Structure 1
Amino acid sequence: MNLSRPLLLASNSPRRKELLTGLGLDYIVRVKDVHEEFPAHLKRAEVAEYLASHKADAYFDDLQDEVVITADTIVCLGDKVLNKPQSHHEAAEMLRSLSGTSHEVITGVCLLTKETKHVFHDITRVHFKKLTQTEVDFYINHYKPFDKAGAYGIQEWIGMIGIERIEGSYFNVVGLPVQKLYTHLVELGYLTVE
């Protein structure tokens, strides 16, 4: 695979790094501290796309010929956006609210160059079994999911024992819709496969 421009991943997420590496792409990581706040009137996919775009804007002044990839993953229970939990209590509340129901995971992605900004998203529906309080506490105590929207990682223990099925991309729930990302990189001319 050939890249027409250097790729810059604007994320410290080990999961996003692993997924981008799994695509066989060379990239460098550059991280800036960007506040993840969004206007209250935005709904669901608009929130994910806004946050990805907002993160990308922080890199614009430093760009040469790179393509910056930013992403933001949110968990939506109905119209409510579940952010990263701030405490054990908040994580437990989130997991109890997801227990025995289905919810949607939405990842917004932004591809930014000096000339263009391209924003898209992917949605995956996740179905959780009814979790016991013991399972919720065990997961929080052992996996500390405080850096994860919705207080869980699908690739971790809770995903293995609690998720009955998903509709859509598994990788989107992990944090990066790699199939859509690959497609957009090819369509925009940043990536060719030889």
Structure 2
Amino acid sequence: MIIIFFLLLTHIPLTIYYDQIPSTISGKLVCTNTNYFFGQYNTYFNYLTLVNVIPYLITFSFGSMSYRNVQQLAYRAVPLVRRELDKQLTIVVLVQIVYDFVILIPNLIVYVIILQGNIQDLVIKAQINLIYTITLCFYYLYFSSPFYIYICVSERFRRQFIYVLFKMHFNRWRQLRIHPNQPLGQT
């Protein structure tokens, strides 16, 4: 509830400072920012801090805590099955953290380069925009990555996925195989 309230408060200026104005090129209405200070706030606080830096810090801190927790499991009296599942979960979390930093940090770096805005050469500017578009595609792939990470890393998740996909759903939708009756004398 606190997070929702905080996000509502931080995004109230979006409703105030975005406005529809006619485009100078096409004459059509476009939704754009009308205040310079709000543009700075939106760029540096909303996008850089709320969308990029804070989620990375949270992911890294919880990943390091879970890794430390699994390291201490050897010293506690925990059933072997639970210990193995905890290790598997920790591996999944660590792979997710590495994936996050490899995939998402380039997008953040290119965005910061674009923010500097002092690139005058049009060819270099076009190349940076192309790189930003590619890193943005990877950014959107990030949201489907946990499924593939779980499939690759966790044997238990893989078995459960195969069971649900093939045993339950595939067999349910497979057509019934009914063979016609043949008289005993014919083959």
Under TM normalisation by the shorter chain, which class is it? under 0.3
The two structures have a TM-score, normalised by structure 1, of 0.25
- Between structures 1 and 2, the one with greater strand share: 1
The two structures have a TM-score, normalised by structure 2, of 0.26
